[in-house]
Amino acid sequence: MKRYLTLLHNFLVISLKRELEYRTNTILSVLFSFVWVVTTYIITTVVFGQAGKIAGWSIHDAILLILVYYVISTFLRTFIAPSIIDFSQNIRLGKLDLLLTKPVDVQFMTSCQKLNMIRSIRGFFMFVVLMLYATQYYPISLFTACLAFVFGILGILGMYAAYYLLATASFWFENIWNLEELFMSMYEAGKHPFDIYQGPLRAVALYILPVAGIGAIPTLIIRHAISPFTLALFACSTLFLFFLSRIFLRYALRQYTSASS
Amino acid sequence: MIKWAFRSIMNELVISVQHLTKHYKVYKKQPGLGGSLKALFSRTYETIKAVDDVSFDIAQGELIGFIGPNGAGKTTTLKVLSGLLYPTSGSVSVLGFNPWDRKAAFQKQFSLVMGQKNQLWWDLPAIESFLLNKAIYEIPEKQFQETLDKLVDLLDVRDVLNVQVRKLSLGQRMKCELIAALLHNPKVLFLDEPTIGLDVMMQKVMRDFIKSYNKEFGATIILTSHYMEDVKELCKRVVIIDHGKKLFDGELQGIIDKHARNRILSIVLSEDVPRKKLEAIGEIKSYEHPQATILVPRKEASERAAKLLQTLPVADITIEEPPIEAIIRDVFQTTK
């Protein structure tokens, strides 16, 4: 465990150094992220200003959901998306070869070796805003905050596993282009209250591809509006997805053909 | 496994490959838009025998040359030995491990260098990749510094360690790739065309380095290269492979003895002689007075040379082996 934390620290440092090589990119990236947050906030207040409540969610609930969604989304885009996109492309181009010879868990290497550190700075800033907002409008105990945090992590794990499963399919379907766009548009579903999903779609979006729950579940925990049964089912489904991703990778590696030299 | 372990102790075997086969299924598409549309619904697959029943053993400290034309199966064999590819059949043991188990204990003891692929971080100086490898391979600080210093001095790259990799020349980049691959002092090294694209001077530098690394660290090395100079200078033993099959395994001199049908008589004449008289000795490859090159059957070389000296005004004569490239080309052609 200590070794992997040391490695993660190395990946963090090396990624930050890499990003700092390109100053303009860094400045623009931070700027765009604030524009995105402000735009989303304005749209939400306009929509809720007209409708009052949507599926039982008030404007404060919706803003809380957006903040949770944004923090988790930033985490995914910082720690997971860059490496997984590379993973998919490296399979197609045969660049996975040298990485597979390293004495480190393949899933760890292919999930964490490239990080987008600038996004993590925005994520941290949004996390502080979230904390201030949540404590101002919702009376939460330390236990509730911890539970929301744990389920936020579980949501990330489930989302990561679904993303990784999709990327691993590149071993067979080599041309999975625009993987990030595909995944992130699916992930956009997490920005809305999940009560809008009904019937089988709700079950799929909550437990199979846990996009609907990723932002909503921690939000509902903060609002004290979720049953222990739903939480337990959500936790089981995310853990199952994670183990499935590991088994699937092991199977896929046996089919790896590399690319011609 | 027990059998291998026994042989390993007896012969200090490091690599053992028995009846290795690796087949790929590839689909063949007819040309044109029609072919592409047809391939959407129905595809014709073909099995490519990249490696076909290949066996060989390699002892500790050996430096072996893998020779073969493009698509012969050299790189595929190296990839199986590195644990990247799962074989269709056969058994492979490297340092007593099944490579495709991908055990960390095995991965810490070998390295794969591919001339056409890189592991260095493109946007950062090479030293950053070295430090990352230090963490990945858990190299103790003292050992890391000592090895790095030694390799940097041997390859003369101290002044480029802090320059972004993308700004380095191909030669400098290749040297840094080698350092990154050797920092953990691997016992087994797979070099897949390490000199590809390098100029003649840089090829020589790389060859000298590989030779000294093999000697100093006692590392077992498999080298694939299209440059015969690499193989001639570095490898005592070669394995020739074509269409996935092993054609030859032995000392380089063995190929010459087995496959060179002719020898070359290079002569300098003191007087001009008619071409016909030279044709009586052997096949003329070139003749421009006073120099001539004549091919003679290998077994009759001494006899023909003696006849030449007796019958013609020869000022100087040398008997040479044909170039190794020509002999190997001949091996591939005769086995087609």
Model confidence pLDDT, tens digit, residues A113-167 = 888 777 677 777 777 777 777 777 777 788 888 898 899 889 888 888 888 888 8
Check whether the bond before A228 is cis (ω within 30° of 0).
Answer: no
Residues of chain A positioned with their CB less than 8 A from the CB of B138: 3
Nearest C-alpha of chain A: how many angstroms from B189?
12
Residues of chain A positioned with their CB less than 8 A from the CB of B137: 103
Angle at A258 between CA A161 and CA B180, to 5 degrees: 90
Indicate whether this complex's ipTM tops 0.85.
Answer: no
Read off the amino acid at residue B48: I
What is the structure's pLDDT at B138? 92
Residues of chain B with pLDDT under 50: 1, 3-4, 6-10
Nearest to B117 among A3, A95, A255 (CB): A95
Q: Confirm if B320 and B301 have CB atoms less than 8 A apart.
A: no
Nearest C-alpha of chain B: how many angstroms from A72?
28
A98, A175, A253: best to mutate for the B interface, most B CBs within 10 A? A98
**Cβ within 8 Å, pair A18-B192:** no
What is the structure's pLDDT at A116? 77
Nearest C-alpha of chain B: how many angstroms from A180?
22
What is the structure's pLDDT at A85? 82
What is the structure's pLDDT at A23? 66
What is the structure's pLDDT at A51? 67
Give a three-class secondary structure readout of chain A: CHHHHHHHHHHHHHHHHHHHCCHHHHHHHHHHHHHHHHHHHHHHHHHHHHHCCECCECHHHHHHHHHHHHHHHHHHHHHCHHHHHHHHHHHHHCCHHHHHCCCCCHHHHHHHCCCCHHHHHHHHHHHHHHHHHHHHHCCCCHHHHHHHHHHHHHHHHHHHHHHHHHHHHHHCCCCCCCHHHHHHHHHHHHHCCHHHCCHHHHHHHHHHCCHHHHHHHHHHHHCCCCCHHHHHHHHHHHHHHHHHHHHHHHHHHHCCCCCCC
Residues of chain B positioned with their CB less than 8 A from the CB of A21: 123-124, 164
**Residue B19: φ, ψ to 5°:** 50, 45
Residue identified by tokens 């008997």 is B319
**Cβ within 8 Å, pair B84-A100:** yes
Nearest to A14 among B84, B124, B193 (CB): B124
Q: Confirm if B92 and B110 have CB atoms less than 8 A apart.
A: no
pLDDT tens track for B293-318: 998 888 888 888 888 888 888 889 88
Residues of chain A positioned with their CB less than 8 A from the CB of B123: 18, 21-22
Rounded-to-integer distance, Cα B252 and Cα B62, Å? 14
Q: What is chain A's mean pLDDT, rounded?
A: 79
Q: What is the mean pLDDT of each run of 10 residues along chain A (261 residues)?
A: 85 81 71 75 74 72 79 80 83 82 91 78 74 77 87 87 86 67 69 70 73 78 84 90 94 81 56
Q: Please tell me which residue of chain B has the smallest CA distance to A105.
A: B104
- A vs B, Cβ pairs < 8 A, gives 78
